[in-house]
Amino acid sequence: MSRLAKCKPILEAAQMWKQRCLIGSGSLFGEENLWTLEHFKELNTHFVQRPDTGNRSFVDKLKDQLANTTPEAKRLWAEVTWLFWLLISSAGRESKIKQIRMAWDWSARQFPSEHWALQDVLNQGAVHPGPAYQIQRDKEFSFIVILMSSWFSLSLPDRESLLQDAWNFAKWLDTNEGAERRQFRHVLLYLLFPDEFEPSVVRNHKQKMVQAYGKAGGITTSVENLDLVGLDSAVLKIRKLLENEHPGEEIDFYDRRFRDVWRDGKDEDGSVPSDEEWYRERFGSADVWLVAPGVGATLWEEFRKLGIFGIPWGVLGDLTQFKSREAVHGKLVEAGAGENPVMRSLWTWEFVHELKVGDFLLVQKSGRTVLGWGTVTGEYSYQPQRATFQHVRTVDWHALETPIEVEGKISSKIMTCFTPYKTWLRDFFARIDGEEEIEPYGIERALGPLFLEQTQFLRILDSIRLRKNLILQGPPGVGKTFIARRIAWCLIEKKTSESIEMVQFHQSYSYEDFVQGWRPTETGGFTLRNGVFYEFCKTAETQPDVPFVFIIDEINRGNLSRIFGELLMLIEGDKRGSEHEIALTYSETGQRFSVPENVYLLGLMNTADRSLAIVDYALRRRFAFETLAPAFGTEKFRDYLINFDVPDVLVERINENLTNLNEQICGHQDLGSGFQIGHSYFVPEEPLDQHETWYQSIIETQIKPLLHEYWFDHPNDVEKAVESLLR
């Protein structure tokens, strides 16, 4: 069993807490009832549901979040803090007491500094959880509050029943939101059931224990296929094996003689293994491949259900007939795959001859999102009965509960060996394991996939922070929508959609849609219904420290005075907040409205649409304006195309031809810079083999129709321009 000698005082304290609080709904430090559903609901309302994502310290934010809670809720938080630190060795008694006392003092009651639970037991500590436990305290505490709210929603007999069976309790615990990523999950299980669970709070450590000792313990299931309860069960089996091998000895997996086996001899000082060492521990001799199940991952669901991964070009027949990659290349040319299908011949050959049973597959969508992962379980087979993707391997798939977006653009080819990119893989799997330290979304992350220079992006951020309202204007295809979301994430300082709303204006859009108006009901009457911006502002009022960004696409396509109405005054940067509230057109008597100070308006304007009304001066005075230009000729745009294997010659043609065309458009008396062609037309989302065909298709189907609209009365000019582009 895992009742280590050093843990004895900790486990005794945990049992006392279990009886007084977890079962008795009482208090650890006093005689009142603190551990109740009522008080955890209060903490849920004020802390979990009102996250503070600003740059202030955890303590400063917490003080504001708990400011309007009852004294009982504040004292409950103090006792939760005691539980949070009880098992942890990375902080001393004084540091722990300081954090416990902080919340208790906010309740204006004398702190019980002489209480037994605040003495030497806090000096013990048995587990060093790593920096994530401290850095992500907000997430750990949110999990505790959610977990305890769920716990105290159960009847007392149900709670007592769960506490009689360690594995049933663990299964129940893992049904709660966030359990798979939170280290406190492991802390709690050990404190309550030390005979079944280890004093180890890092999931990856447990996986390494199973990888190192599992074979001797008769564990045949890969650690990647074990859920948390299965992983804990496997570790217990290994413990019993070691206890039999070392009778009468205390088995501590973090003792050097055992730790060196599963951690590959790393020092006690916590030195971090190199990327090569990490990869070897994680994947052994297997390769990791990034794969695309069809364009836009359209075949992901089919592949996942059938347990397969496939590639196209069934016309080639059984691929085992080809003795070299050159033979595959030649056959692809004959089959119409282009003049030089280098990449297709590469991944076709690799699929048969390089991909091995046991290799690891990461499923990507459009080079920006990872949907799941799997392990190759079977050799290549040709299945001509399939309608498409007849070349098949069997795979044990696992879909991610929440797809993971990656920064920048990763390869979007059907198959790419990612084994050489160990640093990227290490960072990515830290996200899957829940061990990463969450970094705020900042300028560097935003600029990664953008073609903007840093100076312009900083100017944009400064403008919207100062004025509260900004319009991004530019010709079609300069990435206004793509940039807008990154501006929003920088303002919020994290990548989220929770405090972002987006609408698109059009000629029929009205005040009633945007702000408030009477709407018909199913019974034939009318009801006053709030519009999207009204509701957005009311939500923003509940989280005053969180920036809320409202994006308006095609802002100059609507009748702006009719849509905004009296809000033209309220959206001004110096007219924000409750002191400027007014009655709205349809408001009931006594009701008033204002735009919160934490709301930012970000409009997007296409400067090339002749049908749009000119933005009136009333709106222009309330917005800052930033003009976006095409990125042709820039180093970032060139590097992007080369990264997609677009030949250098074609890259130069695109830059030169489109730059010349835009100069012609800028100098035209009826057009101007607002009608230029944007670079987004030439930003591929999927891998390309037939690059010339791709380029010509864009010119014929997208650029040519746009030029006809520009020069509708000069068709000869259009033909000359297109001819020049196709040279």
Tokens of 36: 């109740």
Single-letter amino acid code for the residue at 525: G
Contacts of 542 (CB under 8 A, 6+ apart): 50
Least confident span in 74-78, 348-352, 509-513, 556-560: 556-560
Amino acid at site 504 = Q
Average pLDDT score over residue span 355-371 = 88
Distance separating alpha carbons of residues 234 and 255, to the nearest angstrom: 19
Give 438's pLDDT tier (boundaries 50, 70, 90): very low
* pLDDT tops 80 at residue 312: yes
Instruction: Tell me: pLDDT of 435 over 60.
Output: no
pLDDT grade for 376, boundaries at 50, 70 and 90: very high
Q: At what angle do helices 648-666 and 715-725 cross, to 10 degrees?
A: 160
Given a contact cutoff of 8 angstroms between Cβ atoms, the answer to whether 470 and 619 are in contact is no
DSSP 385-399: TSSS--EEEEEEEEE
- DSSP H or E segment with residue 166: helix 166-173
CA distance 353 to 364: 22
Query: Position of tokens 């309330």?
Result: 622
Taking alpha carbons only, the member of 655, 658, 656, 661 closest to residue 641 is 655
Beta-carbon contacts of 181 under 8 Å, excluding residues fewer than 6 positions away, are 139, 434
Residues in the chain: 727
Percentage above 70 pLDDT, the chain = 92
Task: Output 695 or 274, whichever has higher pLDDT.
Answer: 695
Whole-number Cα distances in Å, 575 to 226, 460, 579, 602, 707: 56, 21, 8, 17, 43
- Tell me how far the alpha carbon of residue 415 is from its chain's centroid: 24
Residue 259's alpha-carbon distances to 282, 336, 513, 646, in angstroms, are 16, 57, 63, 49
Q: Which residues pair with 552 in a beta bridge?
A: 503, 603
The tokens describing 670, both together, are: 């009826």
Q: Would you state the pLDDT for residue 406?
A: 76
- Measured between alpha carbons, how far is 287 from 295 in angstroms, rounded to an integer? 23
Residue 687: its pLDDT value, please?
Answer: 60
Quote the CA–CA distance of 677 and 159 in Å, as a whole number: 66
Please, which pLDDT band fits residue 205 given cuts at 50, 70 and 90? confident
Mean pLDDT of 682-707: 85
In angstroms, the Cα distances linking 584 to 58, 516, 529, 559, 591 are: 39, 8, 13, 18, 8
At residue 618, does pLDDT exceed 70?
no
Report whether pLDDT(630) > 70: yes
Q: Are strands 500-504 and 360-365 parallel, antiparallel or unpaired?
A: unpaired
The pair phi, psi for residue 171, each rounded to 5°, is: -65, -40
pLDDT of residue 621: 82
Q: Within a 10 A sphere around the Cβ of 371, how many other Cβ atoms?
A: 18
Query: For 89-106, what is the HEC assignment?
Result: CCCCHHHHHHHHHHHHHH
More confident call, 494 vs 594: 594
Angle at alpha carbon of residue 101, lines to 99 and 106, rounded to 5°: 110
- Residue 493, pLDDT > 60, answer yes
pLDDT of residue 74: 95
- Identify the pLDDT of residue 686: 64
Given this model, what pLDDT does residue 271 score? 42
Q: Is the pLDDT of residue 519 over 90?
A: no
Q: Which residues are within 8 A (CB) of 237 and not within 5 positions of it... i.e. 6 or more apart?
A: 217, 218, 219
Spatial distance between the Cα atoms of 687 and 671, rounded to a whole number of angstroms: 35
* Structure token pair of residue 647: 């030949």
Tokens of 676: 């230029």
User: Using an 8 Å Cβ cutoff, are 660 and 315 in contact?
Assistant: no
Strands 391-405 and 369-376: antiparallel
CA gap 59, 281 in Å, rounded: 38
Q: Which of 569, 573, 572, 567 is nearest to 587 (CA)?
A: 567
Taking the C-alpha atoms of residue 631 and residue 682, their distance in angstroms, rounded to an integer, is 10
What is the rounded distance in angstroms from the CA atom of residue 87 to the CA atom of residue 123? 10
* 510 φ/ψ sector (left φ>0, alpha ψ -120 to 50, else beta): beta
DSSP sequence for 229-244: HHHHHHHHHHHHHHHH
Average per-residue pLDDT in the chain?
86
482 pairs with which residues across the strands? none
Q: Is 687 helix (H, G, I), strand (E, B) or coil?
A: coil
Which tens digits make up the pLDDT trace of 42-70?
999 999 999 886 646 678 789 999 999 99
Higher pLDDT, 639 or 110: 110
Q: How many alpha carbons lie under 13 Å from residue 275 in its C-beta half-sphere?
A: 11
Residue spans of beta strands (DSSP E) within 40-146: none
pLDDT of 557-606, one tens digit each? 888 888 998 898 899 988 998 889 898 888 777 788 999 999 999 999 99
Q: Three-state DSSP class for 539?
A: helix
Instruction: Provide the pLDDT confidence category of residue 431 given band limits of 50, 70 and 90.
Output: low
Residue 233's contacts (CB-CB under 8 Å, 6 or more residues apart) are 167
Q: Does the pLDDT at position 359 exceed 80?
A: yes
One-letter amino acid at 63 equals K
Three-class secondary structure of residue 676 per DSSP:
coil
Instruction: Name residue, tokens 């189907």.
Output: 701
**The predicted structure's pLDDT at residue 433:** 59
Higher pLDDT, 541 or 76: 76
Beta bridge partners of 276: none
313: Cβ contacts below 8 Å, ≥ 6 apart: 332, 335, 337, 344, 348, 391
Helices (H), 601-647: 617-620, 635-643
pLDDT of residue 497: 76
Phi first, then psi: give them for residue 612, nearest 5 degrees. -80, 145
Integer-rounded Cα Rg, in Å, for the chain is 31
Q: On the CB side of 690, how many CA atoms lie within 13 Å of its CA?
A: 10
- Proportion of the chain above pLDDT 90, given as a percent: 48
Looking at the DSSP assignment, which residues form a beta bridge with residue 600? 549
| Chain segment 105-121, per-residue pLDDT in tens | 999 899 998 999 998 88
Q: Write out the E strands in 297-450.
A: 308-311, 360-365, 369-376, 381-382, 391-405, 415-417
What is d(CA 79, CA 101) in angstroms, rounded to the nearest whole number? Answer: 9
pLDDT reported for residue 631: 93
pLDDT of residue 350: 93
Judged against a pLDDT cut of 50, whether residue 266 lies above it is answered with no
DSSP state of 379: -
pLDDT at 269: 35
Per mean pLDDT, which range of 91-105, 123-137, 406-420, 638-652 is the poorest?
123-137
Least confident piece of the model among 213-217, 328-332, 579-583, 651-655: 213-217
Domains observed in the chain: 5-198 (no CATH), 202-265 (no CATH), 282-433 (3.10.590), 444-627 (3.40.50.300), 635-725 (no CATH)
